[in-house]
Amino acid sequence: MKKYLMTVVAVIAAAGFTSCSNEVDMFEPINSDKATINLNITNDNVMITRAESNVTNTSSWYITVGTNDQIQVSDLSTKKYAAGEYNITVSNYATEAAAISANQAYYSGSITKNLVKGSNSVTVSCGKAKNCRVKADLAGLADFSAITDARLTVSQTEAPNRVLNTTTTTGYFYAGTGKTISYALDYKYDGIDATTLSGTISNPVAATEYQVKVVTNTNGTITLTITYDTEFTENTVETITIDAATGKRA
pLDDT in tens, 217-226: 656 666 666 6
Cβ neighbors of 17 (< 8 A, separation 6 or more) are 24, 25, 28, 34, 36, 78, 79, 80
The beta-strand segments (E) located in 83-144 are 84-91, 108-115, 118-127, 132-137
Q: How far apart are CA 40 and CA 18, in angstroms?
A: 21
Reduced to 3 states (helix: H, G, I; strand: E, B; else coil), residue 14 is coil
The residue ranking higher by pLDDT, 149 or 14, is: 149
Question: Which is more confidently placed, 13 or 127?
Answer: 127
Judged against a pLDDT cut of 50, whether residue 196 lies above it is answered with yes
User: Which pLDDT belongs to residue 229?
Assistant: 56
User: How many CB atoms are located within 10 Å of the residue 165 CB?
Assistant: 13
State pTM to two decimals: 0.78
Q: How far apart are CA 189 and CA 191, in angstroms?
A: 5
What Å distances lie between residue 149 and 32, 61, 92, 146, 165, CA to CA? 66, 38, 35, 10, 9
174 by Cβ neighbours in 10 Å (0-12 / 13-18 / 19+) ranks as buried
* Spatial contact of 224 and 242, defined as CB atoms under 8 Å apart: yes
Q: Is 68 helix (H, G, I), strand (E, B) or coil?
A: coil
130 has pLDDT over 60: yes
Question: For 132-242, which CATH class?
Answer: mainly beta
pLDDT above 60 (res 234): no
For the chain, the structural domain boundaries read: 3-127, 132-242
| CA 75 to mean position of chain CA atoms | 23
Q: Helix, strand, or coil here: 77?
A: helix
Of the listed ranges 51-65, 146-160, 226-240, the one predicted with least confidence: 226-240
**pLDDT digits over 41-54, tens only?**
887 655 665 455 56
- The one-character DSSP state at 65 is E
Residue 242 has pLDDT above 90, yes or no: no
Considering the chain, what is the average pLDDT of its residues?
78
CA 91 distance to own-chain centroid: 10
Average pLDDT estimate for 97-122: 94
First-to-last C-alpha distance (Å) of the chain? 40
